Amino acid sequence: MDISKLKGIGKVRVEALQKAGYTDSDQLLYRFPKEYVDYDLRTPVGKLHSGQKAVFLARIKKTSMARFKGRIVTYATVFDETGEIVCVWFNQPYRAKQLEIGDTLLFSGLITRNKGKIEAMSPKTLPRDTHGIQPVYAPLCDIPGKTYASLVEQAYQNAGDLHDPLPEDLLQRFSLPSYAGALYAVHFPDSPEQLALALKRLSFEDMLLFRIVMRRMHESAGLGRALKANMTVIQPFIDSLPFKLTGAQSRVLNQCLSDMESDTPMARLVEGDVGCGKTVIAFALLYCAFENGCQGAMMAPTEVLAQQHYAEAKKLLEPLGVKVVRLIGAVKGKERKETLAALADGSADVVIGTHALITESVDYKHLGLIVTDEQHRFGVRQRTALERKGKTAPHTLVMSATPIPRTMALVLYGDMEVSVVDELPPGRKPVTTRVVPEDKRKGMYSFIGAAVAQGQQVYVVCPLVEESEVFDAMSATQTCLDMQKALPNTRIELLHGKMKSEEKDRILEDFAAHKSDILVSTTVIEVGVNVPNATIMVIEDAERFGLAQLHQLRGRVGRGDQQSWCFLMADPSERMRTMCSTNDGFVIAQKDLELRGPGDVMGVRQSGMADEHLIALAGDPVLMEEVGLACDRIFADPDSKESRRLIDYARTEMDKRGLIVARN
């Protein structure tokens, strides 16, 4: 059905949908709910906790209204036999008339913390006898989720033939429902079991198509260039280092060199906690490429990190005759023109940069090695775009300081080999982590003041830039003011994402040069700052961060030989105990995956760095194993009619989603 014939949307919304690429009603069915609310899955009030999206049955005890920063706020204290909670609504004065004292209602919403007490923020209220599973759709083109749900219902009633892309024998082997059946259950689930099976079916297809394309890319990447790659070749670089490589660095370096000796392009992921020495491995491989007459490119997610790598590469590589250039947004005019020319004519051996490295204006004479740092922030498409810059398929090294469980690595990197640098350089001490409740803040400030007096530096990280009337999170701005009052003799700088990049860079450079003692910041410092003199990390409202992110932030300290500390401003909880009990990033990443889900762990819901459906699969190792078996079966006979059809469909579908940049 033409989308303009659907009931419930006017001409303006129809035009907006068409502009967004939605022209027929079937397309609405392929956009799944963002989440589900199971009204039968209820939590006792006494067991509600901050950060939880919950459904709870409670009786209204009292109501009130107030004004806050020009807004009308409605409060309702509700309770059951296990405890009570305050529900808060902003600018909804009609709520007071709906809430009769003594009534029992079903509430559904986000639980937050305010001044040490939990609250339900703008919860939905429903009759107590409400049951079943309700899909929740994200708004699209200003169409509210509720209206979108009615459009989906119309779309299904008028759906054409829903062709199943997976062969019947594959569905039977893994006990999966048909595509049409799964699609119906995703939008109109009758039970949690039916919904789980439908999501498994659609997830299975998503992951299978992705794995097929990644495998095809590896097989058809074309021959790379086999390099002379061994420790003898890179010995001049190793001898020039002011330190000795750790056993883990040597092991991983040998694995990479072995890969590069083959004409099958290296595709290796190197994982390791902050400070383990991954960058030195990358520089050694860039030197190896140089010794073989090839160019190397290193791509970092931020200009600050790219600039840091550039300065280090010049210091370590240029004395050995390697010409190092940079290509970031700040490189303009004559320098940019000269850099592009040097890459095109081969006079530049190594280039360090950001996503600028993959723009159309950049040509390489003989690109032989690509290194991408913090790869999950780019996504498959950007990596493959850089790979296409080589005349032959270049060797590829991916580095990540974010520990990634194996199942998730398969989603993000396809079938890359994985190496782990699991040893810190000698002299590095584990960061001591402590949970600090609010009533101990004054003592923590005294500790910070004493550390600063001894010449040490401090990070303070906050989840928000400015105060929010919805969340009582400490803002960077307010925290900076509070710390200036508490520690008047210290030099405190404020840094947040709303600042211009030039200002952010200046503040970070000043902190690195010890022109300030305390840096109060949002999570902008999570990646790309190396200040060995920083020994204390304070994380405000730590419960608002995931474990993987807390671990990444903690990695900003402990980079020198002094004892370092991480203070988590939060109430004790299982998550906070995990942070205090281990410095092992892989243990923490696995726990985060269990507690929060893979989409949150990788930041996909915020950054849009990869297909959210794919990321959501990474927490299910059984599903991943089944997909691997199915993929092996297809490639056991890739020339059969069924396999060719599925391989062609996979490439078309993944390209349509913008996940893959295939070679011509």
Q: What is the pLDDT of residue 218?
A: 66
Tell me which of 39-53, 360-374, 389-403, 508-522 is least confident: 389-403
- Average pLDDT (46-54) is 84
> If pLDDT is split at 50, 70 and 90, which confidence band does 133 have?
very high
Of residues 414 and 161, more confidently modeled: 161
For the stretch 386-391, contacts whose Cβ atoms lie closer than 8 Å and that sit 24 or more positions apart, written own/partner, are: 386/297, 386/299, 386/357, 386/358, 387/221, 387/663, 388/661, 388/663, 389/297, 389/357, 389/358, 389/362, 389/363, 389/364, 390/364, 390/366, 391/364, 391/366, 391/367
Say how far apart CA 29 and CA 137 lie, in whole Å: 11
> What one-letter code names the amino acid at 455?
G
Per-residue DSSP letter, 640: S
- 66 bridge partner residues: 73
pLDDT at 406: 62
Neighbouring CB atoms inside 10 A of 148's CB total 22
8-state DSSP, 557 = S
d(CA 101, CA 103) in angstroms, rounded, equals: 6
pLDDT level of residue 448 (50, 70, 90 thresholds):
very high
Instruction: Read off the pLDDT band of 523 (50, 70, 90).
Output: confident
Q: CA distances (Å), 414 to each of 18, 118, 261, 384, 518, in order?
A: 34, 42, 22, 12, 41
Output the pLDDT for position 603. Answer: 42
The beta-strand segments (E) located in 257-394 are 267-271, 295-299, 324-327, 350-353, 367-373
Mean pLDDT over each residue of the chain, to the nearest integer: 84
Helix axes of 231-240 and 303-317: crossing angle, nearest 10 degrees = 100
Most confident residue range from 124-133, 523-532, 652-661: 124-133
Phi then psi for residue 400, to 5 deg, are -145, 125
Which whole number is the average pLDDT over 294-312? 88
pLDDT at 614: 54
- Of the pLDDT bands very low, low, confident and very high (cuts 50, 70, 90), residue 323 is very high
Q: CA 269, 272, 275, 281: dihedral to nearest 10 degrees? A: -40
Q: Which segments of 66-167 does DSSP mark as H helices, in order?
A: 95-98, 145-157
Q: Given pLDDT bands bounded at 50, 70 and 90, which one contains residue 608?
A: very low
Examine the pLDDT at 403 and tell me if it is beyond 70.
no
The arithmetic mean of pLDDT across residues 45-72, rounded, is 89
- The DSSP code for 138 is P
499: enclosing H helix or E strand: none
Cα–Cα distance measured from residue 253 to residue 120, given in angstroms and rounded to the nearest whole number: 52
Model confidence pLDDT, tens digit, residues 211-225? 888 777 766 555 678
pTM over 0.75: no
Confidence band, pLDDT 50/70/90 cuts, at residue 472: very low
pLDDT for the residue 12? 87
Percent of residues, the chain, with pLDDT higher than 90 = 40
Q: Would you say 517 and 457 are in contact if contact means Cβ atoms under 8 Å apart?
A: yes
Helix (H), strand (E) at residue 17: helix 11-19
C-alpha span between 454 and 3 (Å, rounded): 68
Question: Token pair 């956009």 is at which residue?
Answer: 31
Give Cα 609 to chain centroid, integer Å.
7
133-158: average pLDDT: 86
Q: How many of the other CB atoms lie within 10 Å of CB of 515?
A: 12
- Tokens 């006792």 found at: 44
Across 81-236, where does the E strand assignment appear? 83-90, 104-114, 117-127, 133-136
Question: CB count, 10 Å around CB of 569?
Answer: 22
Average pLDDT over residues 647-663: 71
Domains located in the chain, CATH noted: 41-130 (2.40.50.140), 161-220+627-664 (no CATH), 231-420 (3.40.50.300), 432-582 (3.40.50.300)
pLDDT mean over 499-503: 80
pLDDT 10s digits, 544-587: 788 878 888 898 888 777 899 999 998 788 889 999 998 887 77
Q: Give residue 7's Cα distance to chain centre.
A: 38
> Does residue 178 register a pLDDT over 90?
yes
> How confident is the model at residue 188, as a pLDDT?
92
Is the pLDDT score of 602 beyond 80?
A: no
Residue 464 has pLDDT above 80, yes or no: no
Q: Which residue has the tokens 């290193």?
A: 298
| Angle, CA of 643, 646 and 648, to the nearest 5° | 105
Strand-pairing partners, residue 350, are: 296, 324
Reported as a pLDDT band with limits 50, 70 and 90, residue 13 is confident
Query: What does the angle CA 540 – CA 549 – CA 494 come to, to the nearest 5 degrees?
Result: 45
CA–CA separation, 207 vs 480, rounded Å?
45
Q: Residues 539, 525: contact at Cβ < 8 Å?
A: no
pLDDT at residue 593 above 50?
A: yes
Residue-wise burial string across 468-501, b where 16 or more C-beta atoms lie within 10 A, e elsewhere: eeebbbbbbbbbbeebeeebeebbbbbbbeebee
CA 55/CA 123 separation, integer angstroms: 9
Eight-class DSSP state of 178: -
Distance CA 282, CA 428 (A): 21
pLDDT computed for residue 418 by the predictor: 83
Q: Please give the Cα distance from 281 to 544 (Å, whole number).
A: 34
Element (H, E) at 545: none
Average pLDDT score over residue span 466-491? 74
Per-residue pLDDT at 600 exceeds 60? no
- Are 90 and 469 contacting, i.e. CB atoms less than 8 angstroms apart? yes
Token pair 């900003």 is found at 556
Name the band, by pLDDT with cuts 50, 70 and 90, for residue 613: low
Q: Would you give the DSSP letter of residue 99? A: -
**Mean pLDDT, range 290-305, rounded to an integer:** 89
Poorest-pLDDT segment among 179-193, 315-329, 460-474, 615-629: 460-474
Cβ neighbors of 544 (< 8 A, separation 6 or more) are 51, 463, 471, 473
Tokens of 406: 């194996």
- For the chain, give the percent of residues with pLDDT over 70: 85
Q: Which helix (H) or strand (E) holds 397?
A: strand 395-400
> Distance between CA atoms of 44 and 664, rounded to whole angstroms?
58
Residue 527 CA to its chain's centroid (Å) = 12
- Asked whether residue 379 carries a pLDDT value surpassing 60, the answer given is no
Query: What is the tens place of the pLDDT at every residue in 93-106?
Result: 889 888 999 999 99
The reported pLDDT for the residue numbered 664 is 34
| Token pair for 331 | 């490189």
